[in-house]
Structure 1
Amino acid sequence: AKDGRRYAISENYCVIALVGDQLGDIADIFNDKSLSPAARRDLAAAPAFEGAWDNGWFILPNPTYGPFEGSSMEDVFPPETYWAPAAEK
């Protein structure tokens, strides 16, 4: 749980950015063990948080470990998010 430390720091300093390699580094709400990768992604995209991403909240992914471990490729990267090249004319 890092929120307590974040609040304590913000009492004396103006925090301009939060950076981490996992969502839980940004806010403890993302550390709920009952959340699947899809639910965690949906929560991160919720309207309550949409203004924070790239505007003070930043994720720099660590490809060697994280909550994706034990998940399928489809859980972490849903097929509907795959890039498809535009048809050439």
Structure 2
Amino acid sequence: MLSERDIVKGLAQYGKAALEMPVRNVMSSPVVTCSPGDSVKTIMGVMTERRIRHLPVLEKDELVGIVSIGDAVNFRLTEAQMEMNVLRDVAATR
């Protein structure tokens, strides 16, 4: 997987020549992936630990999607909002 950071690092290391190189010369390797059954919490942990913003989603060694840090954060924000609403509703009925 070739990221924006990989391109910047390639340019810093090789100069303009990086733009003509095969992707394999400047991409991050090995590619970090996840599976459709992984939790958002797990994915966010991997992204934070590895300092990456996108994870290819593989199922049986086939690419089925790409999840971004924005996807994960939006999911967690929506989840937190729903939890807050439930707690507010429970508090209002007491």
Same fold flag (TM > 0.5) = no
TM-score (norm 2): 0.27
Q: Structure 1 length normalisation: TM-score?
A: 0.28
| Structure number with higher helix proportion | 2
Q: Which has the larger radius of gyration?
A: 2
Pick 1 or 2: higher relative contact order, CA cutoff 8 A, min separation 6.
1
